[in-house]
Structure 1
Amino acid sequence: MNDIEAVEEFATDLSEMCTHTPLMAERPLVWTIIANPKAGGFTIAKRWKQHREILRTYANRARNTIQRPGPAMPSQTALEADHGTGRLGALGLIPTLRPNHAGDLVRRLIDEALANKPKHPGERSPFYLIITAGGDGTSLEALTALYHLPPQLQNSFAILRLPMGTGNDGADARDLDKALDLLVHPSNVQFMPAVELQTASKRKGPFLAFNILSIGLDAFVTHMTNKMKGHLPGDSYKLWVDIATLFYDRIYHVATMQVEAYDKQGKLITHFEKELLLLAFGISGRRTYGAGIPILPDDHNICGVEEMPLLKKLKLKKLFTSGQHANRSEAHMLSATKLVVHYSEPILAQMDGEPVLLDREDFPINLVLTEPRIPTLRIQSY
């Protein structure tokens, strides 16, 4: 079975769930499945076999136990994107073919929704469900486009991010069955914030992250992992963590970083000057990156890790990769909605796995937690 066949088989079961989902049952539901056929969840045989069994189980459950009162249909965008037999369009499936394809598709769906706004009083507008099936890159592209959703459509969209990549830190659940629960059980729409990086030079950015935005060592690891993707077998992120532990400060000079932290009201919480190996800023606490590394293991949404001698790095590396670092003196854990960061050397930043080089003239930078803007699904609580 080739990658496209696997994605089509995947979408067959997923479309069954979309047809029956209780989500927004009082409104017409329009769904679109944006899938990356090259994602590990499709191409790694062992993972695909597991995912296939889960999908079959959930599709059967939806078919046999859920009776949706309102209509559900694939989007016009999906139908028009199918230049073949029409089979993929009928499933609401659009395989991604190039970088930022997912973002372009979300923008087309927004245009479709604007064109389909009710023209008569009492007419119910369609509710657009976007399902991404890929890794963090696919998720980031779709979320970045959805971040600019017009205000009049805020209550007409939701996104569900399925964990079908190699790294799934940006998915709605790390396990596929937990993510699919959001389709087969009654769910509410909740809005999620982003972290925005603003540079002083204005030549770069602003950049958005919807999981963790960070600068320093881990951004270097992300950069090298992406650069060598396809040349190294399996998940090379942890290999580059080991390499970076040994050599990062020989490649990038670790200088003093001045950090000012502010609360939601703009009040200064704390400030410090430290030589930091990395500084991570999440949309909340209890978040992972690098395929499950819990850099934010508690409720704090910010972690700074101090530079340290090599032997100490080697000794403590396991604590940081397993989330046991929160109480170490080398880790600075705090909660804030804005950071102002001054730095005098070039350094890499990463936004949900997408790196960018920040030069001296880009500083100071602002890292800002935005207002909640991304419509996501959460199981209803009674």
Structure 2
Amino acid sequence: MNLDDFAAAMANICSHSLVAPGRPLVWTIIANPKAGGFTIGSRWKRHYAALKTYMEKAAVNPLREDAGPSRAALDADPGRGSLGRLGLVPTTGPGTAGKIVKALLDDAVSAHGGKQSPFNLILTAGGDGTSLEALTALYAAPAALRANFGVLRLPMGTGNDGADGRELESVLGRLIYPSNIEYARAVRLTTATPRKGPFLAFNILSVGLDAFVTHMTNKMKGKLPGDSYKLWVDIASLLYDRIYRVGPMDVSAYDEAGRQVESFDERVLLLAVGATGHRSYGSNKRILPDDRNVCVVEQMSLFRKVALKGLFTTGEHIHKPESKLFNAHRVEFRGENPILAQMDGETVLLKPEDFPAAIELTELAIPVLK
């Protein structure tokens, strides 16, 4: 993989983009060079083939004289300047993506209000962690500033559950064909402990068994070969009950108008809330396979866990009696035992003093290129 080749191809496509016609366009590509889409040879080969195809398609559009890389990308280039001139910033560790978006927001403040305020296109090229950092920083900005931004999440990670498409071909067309900005919700976790949270996710926020799988995958990342998430799904079926006691959980769910839609007190194995339905995690595990955005799975025997765990890949788990799916805007829950929560691949341990806790949808806040 050559990051310069990726940056050059993306810059070529962006310079012929039809995004935000009539306004100056500045782009910033936030790329994690350690993401699977760059480091796994077969994936990079497929991605680069898609880039070459879309460079040819983009050439049909006129070259935009009003488009170029952002000042933040130029300033962030730590090397010879070639990546910055192409609008790409490689991440060097946790926090990089958030810092770049904050720099873009600072630049937008100085330009805000002018007749030709530029439109800022943010392209994340990494895994869920990269997009989580970038979107969290953008979410914190005032709405008037966010109106000058658009986000496109390229599927350059290993799982790509939070990207705007599972294959690069399905995403690049939004740059070279007419597109619109649609605002998306985040999912927010709040706790009873004032300094603990709030926590945001932009795909799925969940508590329980799957958060344990995420936690152990993160701990062992780089130490185990292959798909360590799949390995930990298998291990978690055996170990989870020995590490975390699955006790009763009091759950109440409400719609956007505040009307209660569900209420139960059961032993909950996992509770997952998506920004919408039709969402996956753990490299395309289809936990929310239809229009409903909440999935609750009750505790079950070890034999039953082993028998059913494969169904989450296909979404067939929703037909089993242990599963409960519904739509909700806010889900409140409390329990007597510690439990892990995960937010797009990042985890936090919730303790009894953190309850009651709530997972809720935010306002429409993230400008996504559609």
TM bucket, shorter chain: over 0.9
In structure 2, the residue matched to 1:46 is 42
Partners of 2:204 and 2:343 within 8 A in 1: yes
Cα distance per residue 1:234-292 (max 9 Å; x no partner): 22101100111111111100000110000101111120011011000000111000010
Cα distance per residue 1:136-187 (max 9 Å; x no partner): 0001000100101222223210111001011210100011110111111111
Cα distance per residue 1:213-246 (max 9 Å; x no partner): 0000000000000100000112210110011111
Deviation at 1:327, TM superposition (A): 2.0
Q: Distance in 2 between matches of 1:151 and 1:370?
A: 13
Out of 62, 76, 79, the residue aligned to residue 81 of structure 1 is 76
Deviation at 1:118, TM superposition (A): 4.1
Out of 112, 117, 141, the residue aligned to residue 112 of structure 2 is 117
Out of 20, 27, 30, the residue aligned to residue 24 of structure 1 is 20
Q: Does 1:328 align with 2:324?
A: no
Deviation at 1:321, TM superposition (A): 2.9
Deviation at 1:68, TM superposition (A): 5.1
One-letter amino acid of the structure 2 residue matched with residue 30 of structure 1:
V
Q: Does 1:102 align with 2:97?
A: yes
Deviation at 1:83, TM superposition (A): 3.5
Query: Superposition pairs for residues 308-323 of structure 1, below 5 Å?
Result: 308-323=300-315
Q: Structure 1 unaligned segments of length 5 or more: list them.
A: none
- For the residue of structure 1 that corresponds to 2:310, the secondary structure is helix
Query: Superposition pairs for residues 153-172 of structure 1, below 5 Å?
Result: 153-172=145-164
TM-score w.r.t. length of structure 1: 0.95
- For the residue of structure 1 that corresponds to 2:363, the secondary structure is coil
Deviation at 1:69, TM superposition (A): 5.5
Q: Distance in 2 between matches of 1:226 and 1:18?
A: 34
Please say which of residues 218-227 and 142-151 is displaced more in the overlay: 142-151
- Aligned-residue CA RMSD in angstroms? 1.1
In structure 2, do the counterparts of structure 1 residues 286 and 217 end up closer, same or farther at CA, with 3 Å as the change threshold? Answer: same
In structure 1, the residue matched to 2:57 is 61
Cα distance per residue 1:171-217 (max 9 Å; x no partner): 00011110111111111000000110000012311000000000000
Q: Distance in 2 between matches of 1:194 and 1:83?
A: 32
Out of 263, 269, 287, the residue aligned to residue 279 of structure 2 is 287
- For the residue of structure 1 that corresponds to 2:258, the secondary structure is coil
Q: Structure 2 unaligned segments of length 5 or more: list them.
A: none
Deviation at 1:70, TM superposition (A): 5.7
Partners of 1:29 and 1:72 within 8 A in 2: yes
Q: Percent identity at matched positions?
A: 56
Deviation at 1:84, TM superposition (A): 2.6
Partners of 1:37 and 1:96 within 8 A in 2: yes
In structure 2, the residue matched to 1:261 is 253
- For the residue of structure 1 that corresponds to 2:262, the secondary structure is strand
One-letter amino acid of the structure 2 residue matched with residue 320 of structure 1:
F
In structure 1, the residue matched to 2:200 is 208
One-letter amino acid of the structure 2 residue matched with residue 244 of structure 1:
A
The list of structure 1 runs, each at least 4 consecutive aligned residues, that deviate by more than 6 angstroms after superposition, is none
In structure 1, the residue matched to 2:363 is 371
TM-score w.r.t. length of structure 2: 0.98
Q: Distance in 1 between matches of 2:264 and 2:113?
A: 53
Q: Distance in 1 between matches of 2:297 and 2:113?
A: 52
Deviation at 1:92, TM superposition (A): 0.3
Please say which of residues 53-62 and 314-323 is displaced more in the overlay: 314-323
Q: Distance in 1 between matches of 2:113 and 2:23?
A: 12
Q: Distance in 1 between matches of 2:312 and 2:94?
A: 32
In structure 2, the residue matched to 1:188 is 180
Q: Distance in 1 between matches of 2:265 and 2:73?
A: 51
Q: Distance in 1 between matches of 2:313 and 2:206?
A: 15
Partners of 1:196 and 1:367 within 8 A in 2: yes
- For the residue of structure 1 that corresponds to 2:309, the secondary structure is helix
Q: Distance in 2 between matches of 1:207 and 1:51?
A: 32
